[in-house]
Structures are given as structure tokens and as C-alpha cells.
Structure 1
Amino acid sequence: MQTMNPLAAAPRGALASPAAARNTGPILEVLKAHMPGRGRVLEIAAGSGEHAAAFAGALPGLDWTPSDPNAEARASITAWATAASLPNLRPPLALDVLDAATWPEGPLQAVVCVNMIHISPWAATEGLMALAGSRLATGGLLVLYGPYREADVALAPSNAAFDQSLKARDPAWGLRDRDTVAAVAKAEGLALTRRVEMPANNLMLLFRRV
């Protein structure tokens, strides 16, 4: 399943994502407040690998495994990891949320997924929730970041335009309804426990495995 946006080339054989450069700091502040001190973390659709290197470096007690179904992304993740040279950053997995045979064994203490749900078919969200529900330890954390539609919040004009551009690229893409995502998560034993407003009209949604 293809989820990675095209990324510009960066030094040392890596790829660079402007979005990752902007949102790494704000996301990391939330992770620092809510992630466990120790344990195994699986990052889904890790893209360029910039997040993996930054988060693993800032959270040294966590054993961080990035993943992406895209071979170009995995090569970039490897390049960023090589440059970072972190003992807690693992090689990337060729994980596809639509293929359970590619999922690692649990238990995991956390699953992190940044900017995937709106640039993938709805089946990818269902697969993500099934993965988290089956691999997270009891009390484990699922962290989602990205833009969402919310019934009780007016859609920002920038998000409305973004939604239209996504659907123009692929009719199966687009901003998802927060409550619908939470309902799919609940069916897999994941309870939405926190909603955090982020810059540029994004949200972080935190779920716990019950």
C-alpha cells in the first residue's frame, strides 16, 4: 500500500519532508508528556525517517522501530538512522497495515502514526486499528497525528482546501471524521483518551488499549 508523499532529496542519501521539519517539535512535546519511559514503540508509515531519528534521540528509554511499505522511504529511514547512530533506533520494517503477515509480534508499549490516515484508503485506518488492538499491551498507547473533520468544530478553510486537493489526487484519500476513527478504534479495544490541538489545524489523538 502506497502512503508516502513525494519527498525532496536531502544530503547524505536521505529524503527530507518539509512537513516533518515543521511538526517534529510540537509532536515531540506531546510524546514527552504521554509516552512511557521505557518499552517497544512501532512507528507506522514513517516516511522520510526524520521523525524516527528525532523521536528516538529525544526518548532514549524507548526502543523505536520505524516502518514503511515503500522501499524508497525505508532507504531514507536507514540513511537518517545511520547519521543519527542511536542505539535505540531499529532498522525499518517493510510493514503494510493491510497485510497482517508483515506485522511484528507484540506486546508493544506504543504505536505512533503521523500523517497517514488522510493519505491512504479507509481500509488502511481499519488495518492500523486492528494492528494496534492486537499488538499493544494492555494500557499501551496509540498516537495519531494529522488533520480531521469534527462534528463540533468548524472545518478550517485551509483544511477544506487540503481535503479537496487530496481527493483530487486520489478519491480514496481525504480528511477523516474524528468520531468515525474513534469508533473503529473502540471496536479493536482502543479508547480515545485525549485530543490535543496542534499547529496548522492538526490534532493529536491518543488512544489506550483497554
Structure 2
Amino acid sequence: MTRSRIERKEVSANRSFRWSMLISCCLSAVTFADIAHADGIVAPSADARLMTAVELYLLYRDKSWIWSDGAGRFDDAERRFTARTGAGDTTAWAQGRWIVTDDGRLCLNAEWHTVSGVYPNTSCFSHKRAGETIYQKKEPSGSWYIFKHASPAESDEFKKLVAENLVSPDIATIKSDLQNQKRLAGNTLTNASRRKTQ
């Protein structure tokens, strides 16, 4: 194998790792982006119980979840999940399914598309309810926090669930932008390889 092919593989592997980490961080940020100004980490009350699949379905169905740098969409049809995040060379979009279970879990199972490739990712969030208060944590190692207060507060993450579709209208543009970035990256890599062999 030539030195330039080895270097290209190393660059590709480093890019893949960086994108995997970025996607993981983006999904972690979903629940923790604005917690700093929320009530912070709390333990669910003693009377809190796991939410049912029906409760979770009604909570997320046909909603967009606004994130600090994008949004995720929970379409009812076929439980389709789509998302967009980042800007410029950190732009990513996702498509997959959202799943709810009777043990209080919402899972996002999607393939994330970036300039360097496609990366499958599954992220799950646990939910408990005590009266009208909803607690949430990212699995497996997140901390519980109040997702929705009994009397919703402006800082509640729940307030970021909106009916408007904030993802689908942008997906075509994002796909096109990523294709252009891939083309440019390919041309840059090809030109760099040519210069090394000259």
C-alpha cells in the first residue's frame, strides 16, 4: 500500500472517530444543553413511577424537540425520527425511528449523515412521572432532572417540544450542502495526493 493511501485511510479513520464523538455529544447535549439554568440534577420523588409507552407516545408524537444547534422530529407516521444539527463543516442530519417502551424509555435509533460518512447511533432517555412532574435522564449514565414541572417553568426542556416541524423543511438543503462539502473534500484530498506524487 502506498504512503498516500495509508495517510488517506488514517485521515478517514480520524474523521470517522471525530464524527462519532460529535454525534454522541450532540445527542448528549439534547437533554443537557440548557440544564445549567434549570433546577439542575435532582432525584425523582419517592412517588415517581416509570412512564408508560402510551404516555411517552402522547408526549413526543408529531413534535419537534428544539436543541441548541438543531432539532429532532418525532413523526407519528411509522414512528419516523429525523434530525438536523450543527452548521458548516459540522452539519449532520439523521433519519431513523423513535421507540417508546413501558419501562419509561424513549430511544432514538438513527443513521447520522455527515460529510465524512454515515454513522448509526442509538440514544435512550428514561422518564418518570410524579403527578404532573416529569423527570428525565439520558441512559445509561445521565443524571435525573426535571423535564417538566407540575406548573411548567420557562426553563423546562418540555417547553422545547413544539408542534411545528423544524426539521423536514431543511433536510433537502442540508443533504445538498453535505454533497457539496464531500465533493470539495474529495477534490482537496485528490489534489493533495497529486502534489505528493509529483
TM-score (norm 2): 0.26
| Higher RCO (CA < 8 A, seq sep 6+) | 2
TM-score (norm 1): 0.25
* Structure of larger gyration radius: 2
Larger strand percent: 2
